């Protein structure tokens, strides 16, 4: 059987294959962050037929954590009903849905250091400990809203230069208190968020974390540090690690081969027992199949190819299914 077509079960989440649509910003929410008809239509089109086993919704912002205009909000309880419509659309098409939650960290940050991804911005204001505690609570509240809205799990965003990634990276975290210093201190906020969420949603609710494993910038977080972090995240209650870049974003400078983050996912997979998602320029089902066969990851995220072609998943699943049948027949 094709590796990409193999089912996967974790806790109360059963996936019919290993194909994931990763979170990709569409900026199609209403001005106040509510789910719009355009968003419902978009995710209906992408999930049609259930060929994508898991769709991770683009980041919804927690309280006071908005990143861009027309971003989905999960900051207040009154958004739950609209978010439920979004989960229902995906479920009715046969796919599972996970809500990604995020704090932009645009104006506030662990330290008053300009984000390398936003060099034209003014230096942010350093967060106080009280504000850190408030943000931790906001992540917990947002996760609980995702569960109430009917999503199959929730993903904490700690990549691509957003707030939690800024705490993770030594380039943007220069704090001298318990939240700054070595890797154990720089992930303290993550661990506090994970434990808060786990206590709120229960032990059976799947909890993902999108991890910026390497900044690919001199002085940034190293793969070895991220391996330590990954193990501690698993111990704290994370069920799936979604591997990507850190302050470099979702691309690596001067690298464009399919699966360019595979060195990161392979490194993380070597130290944890939970499923690992790999994304990064994958456009062909044969390559996805090879990456799984080589043990680079357990799940494959295909972003831009699906964004460009809503039939990509259908065509790829059918292609792999037909080829598998031919192989069996030849034997």
**DSSP three-state, residue 176:** coil
Give the contacts of 147 (CB within 8 A, at least 6 positions apart).
Answer: 154, 201, 205
Residue 162 known to be catalytic: yes
Compute the distance between CA of residue 227 and CA of residue 223 in angstroms, rounded to an integer: 6
Query: Phi then psi for 300, rounded to 5 degrees?
Result: -115, 125
Compute the distance between CA of residue 61 and CA of residue 142 in angstroms, rounded to an integer: 8
Q: Which of 42, 51, 61, 162 is catalytic?
A: 162
Give the contacts of 327 (CB within 8 A, at least 6 positions apart).
Answer: none
Q: Are 142 and 132 in contact (CB under 8 A)?
A: no
Lookup result for tokens 């932009």: 104
| Nearest C-alpha neighbor of 230 from the set 216, 239, 215, 241 | 241
Q: Are 26 and 39 in contact (CB under 8 A)?
A: yes
Question: Could you give the C-alpha distances from 240 to 175, 257, 268, 278, 298, in angstroms and in order?
Answer: 29, 24, 11, 11, 10
259, two tokens: 């699966």
**DSSP three-state, residue 15:** strand
HSE toward the beta carbon, residue 146, CA cutoff 13 A: 36
HSE toward the beta carbon, residue 40, CA cutoff 13 A: 14
Q: Which residues are catalytic?
A: 162
């Amino acid at each position: 059987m094709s590796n990409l077509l193999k089912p996967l079960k974790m806790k109360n989440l059963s996936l019919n294959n290993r194909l994931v649509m990763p979170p990709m910003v569409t900026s199609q929410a209403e001005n106040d962050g509510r789910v719009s008809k355009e968003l419902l239509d978009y995710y209906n089109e992408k999930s049609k037929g259930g060929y994508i086993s898991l769709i991770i919704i683009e980041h919804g912002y927690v309280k006071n954590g908005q990143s861009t205009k027309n971003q989905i909000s999960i900051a207040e309880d009154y958004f739950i009903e609209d978010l439920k419509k979004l989960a229902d659309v995906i479920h009715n098409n046969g796919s599972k849905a996970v809500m990604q939650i995020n704090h932009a960290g645009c104006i506030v940050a662990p330290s008053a250091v300009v984000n390398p991804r936003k060099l034209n911005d003014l230096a942010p204001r350093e967060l106080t400990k009280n504000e850190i505690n408030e943000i931790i609570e906001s992540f917990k509240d947002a996760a609980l809203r995702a569960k109430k809205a009917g999503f199959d799990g929730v993903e904490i965003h700690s990549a691509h230069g957003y707030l939690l990634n800024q705490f993770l990276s030594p380039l943007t975290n220069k704090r001298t208190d318990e939240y700054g210093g070595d890797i154990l201190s720089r992930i303290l906020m993550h661990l506090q968020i994970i434990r808060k969420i786990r206590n709120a949603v229960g032990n059976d609710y799947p909890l993902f974390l999108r991890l910026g494993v390497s900044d690919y910038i001199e002085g940034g977080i190293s793969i070895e540090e991220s391996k330590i972090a990954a193990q501690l995240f698993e111990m704290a209650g994370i069920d799936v690690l979604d591997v990507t870049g850190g302050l470099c974003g979702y691309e690596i400078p001067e690298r464009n081969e399919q699966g360019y983050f595979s060195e990161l996912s392979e490194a993380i997979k070597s130290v944890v027992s939970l499923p690992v998602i790999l994304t990064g320029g994958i456009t062909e089902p044969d390559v996805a199949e090879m990456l799984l066969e080589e043990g680079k990851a357990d799940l494959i995220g295909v972003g831009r190819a699906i964004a460009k072609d809503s039939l990509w998943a259908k065509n790829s699943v059918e292609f792999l299914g037909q080829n598998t049948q031919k192989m069996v027949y030849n034997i």
